[in-house]
Amino acid sequence: MSETRRVAGEDEKPAPKAPHKGIVREYFETIVVAVLFLLFARSFVFMQSKIPTESMLDTLLVGDYILVNRFLYGAPGDAPVRWMGQRPIERGDVVVFRFPEDPDVDFVKRVIGLPGDVVEMKRGVVSINGRPLEEKYVIPENDESMQPFGPVTVPPDSYFAMGDNRDNSRDSRAWGVVSRSLIKGRAFLIWFSYREDPNDHLRTGLQRPVSIVRKLLNPGLVRPERIFSRIQ
């Protein structure tokens, strides 16, 4: 009885080799993936912003660079997903939102009144539904001359927002409540801080690079004690 044996290599063809990627292509693909990841993170997870005014003293100072959690509250109109770490907006949260009178401008304020709350202020004391609100974040000299306000009822799906520097803050007392659809996220971390002029954000044209160079040449104006501090 004859036996036929296949000799290795007679009928088998070598597996095709994967085409070699050039170093330029490899770098290009890496950069594209990194950019896409950053765009996704900036759109749905985190964003950064800078504090340009004194309306949130002493919680936030002019020149504080902050990180904002855009994922925490979920999408407007949808219920937060608890098992994913999301939660509803709470009283006391420092939030970043599109200014109701100019949606192209971002504002940073603290949530004081929730939907359905009755907000009132007398002699520098904020009351929610008839009860005084304890506000450790407001220093006494920032609310001594605060004018009476209210009572007003916060509409559904809206929030009453105020600055911690009550005597120097244009907030819901002036332009009304903030719709949930305008809120971008919760400010949770100061990642950098630099002593800046309150009008630095108004500089345009050649004034912008001049401002950046000035910061680079004056590292002594950095506030290291505020870097990577949590926003309460």
- The residues annotated as belonging to the active site are 55, 109
Encode the chain in three state secondary structure.
CCCCCCCCCCCCCCCCCCCCCCHHHHHHHHHHHHHHHHHHHHHHCEEEEECCCCCCCCCCCCCEEEEEECCCCCCCCCCCCHHHCCCCCCCCCEEEEEECCEEEEEEEEEEEECCCCEEEEECCEEEECCEECCCCCCCHHHCCCCCCEEEEECCCCEEEEECCCHHHCCCHHHHCCEEHHHEEEEEEEEEEEECCCCCHHHCCCCHHHHHHHHHHHCHHHECHHHCCEECC
b/e string for 81-93 if b means 16 or more Cβ within 10 A?
eeeeebeebeeeb
